[in-house]
Chain A
Amino acid sequence: MRNAGGYAFSFDVGGIRQEADTFTCFHCNKIVIVKPMCDPCELGGMCRLCEKMICPACVDLGKCDPVEKKLEREEAKYRALRSYGL
């Protein structure tokens, strides 16, 4: 995978190392393991609005709501509540 968002590897019983690229869903922050030679449809897809890879669950939602925006919303809400003394 070009420009993978991460890398996973395991050391099994015989010491054989299994490796796989991963990407982190840009909408929900979930890690998706890219199985070698798998069908691209099983991986999720690319959001045409933010131009980033997203997981199958977020593809089904059919909207663009990047995790960064979600974090900003939560932090803004938290800051507001703190400013009210709550």
Chain B
Amino acid sequence: MAKYSITNGSTSGGGTQQNMTTTYVGALIGLTSSSATPRRIKIYDVLIGTNGTPADNFVEWDISRVTVASTATFLAAAPLDPADAAAITLATVNSSTHGTITTGTNVFYVGVNQRASYRWVAAPGGELVAPATSANGFQLRARSGGYTGTATGTLHFEEQ
């Protein structure tokens, strides 16, 4: 079971980071199973933060299940072990619109001060798991009532 990392940082070909709004419009990172060879996606590490001018604002972070990926920049997730093969899971970053999300399928929600960064790590068995079916997966989104800058996110996941 290979492990991979994906970030919406200034990676070559990673698109442009989107400004935050008061509603969930885009998605920082999306992970969906490929249609040809779907695999289970297991997210076990989430790192989130902002990279705009520091101020005291409330930022809400959300990871929801998607059944259709967004249409933004596709990026290859980096294997944590260079000996592993390239990821089969499709990763999108800095999407201006998020994919198809069924209401009530958010599995991670946390409110964080804009100045703070936040990390969640799963113990073995506590990962967020998406089924091995085409286009199913997760998207990381953020919104804020006061902050209108950009945000950063990193997801570590495992394919199974």
Q: Which residue of A lies closest to B134 (CB)?
A: A78
In-complex Cβ contact of A31 among B115, B120, B125, B136 (8 A): B120
The reply to whether B113 and A74 contact each other, CB–CB distance below 8 Å, is no
The reply to whether B120 and A6 contact each other, CB–CB distance below 8 Å, is yes
Q: Which residue of B lies closest to A71 (CB)?
A: B131
1/0 per residue B135-153: CB within 8 Å of A?
0100000000000000000
Residues facing A in B95-135 (CB within 8 A) are: 106-108, 110, 112-113, 115-123, 125-129, 131-134
- Check: A9 CB closer than 8 A to any chain B CB: yes
The reply to whether B120 and A7 contact each other, CB–CB distance below 8 Å, is yes
A33 neighbours in B (Cβ, 8 Å) = 110
B106 neighbours in A (Cβ, 8 Å) = 30
Cα(A31)–Cα(B61), bound, Å: 13
Given A5-B122, A31-B120, A78-B38; A24-B132 close (CB under 8 Å): no
Min Cβ gap B141→A in Å is 15
Q: Which residue of B lies closest to A68 (CB)?
A: B129
B129 neighbours in A (Cβ, 8 Å) = 29, 67, 71
In-complex Cβ contact of B116 among A10, A24, A29, A77 (8 A): A10
Residues facing B in A9-54 (CB within 8 A) are: 9-13, 22-24, 28-31, 33
The reply to whether A11 and B133 contact each other, CB–CB distance below 8 Å, is no
The reply to whether A31 and B128 contact each other, CB–CB distance below 8 Å, is yes
The reply to whether B126 and A12 contact each other, CB–CB distance below 8 Å, is no
Cα(A29)–Cα(B133), bound, Å: 17
Min Cβ gap B47→A in Å is 11
The reply to whether B119 and A10 contact each other, CB–CB distance below 8 Å, is yes
Residues of B within 8 A of A (CB): 38, 40, 106-108, 110, 112-113, 115-123, 125-129, 131-134, 136
The 4 closest A-B pairs by CB, nearest first: A5-B126, A78-B133, A24-B126, A74-B131
List 12 A-B residue pairs with CB atoms under 8 Å apart, sorted by A's residue number. Answer: A5-B123, A5-B125, A7-B120, A8-B121, A10-B117, A11-B116, A12-B115, A13-B116, A22-B120, A29-B129, A67-B129, A75-B131
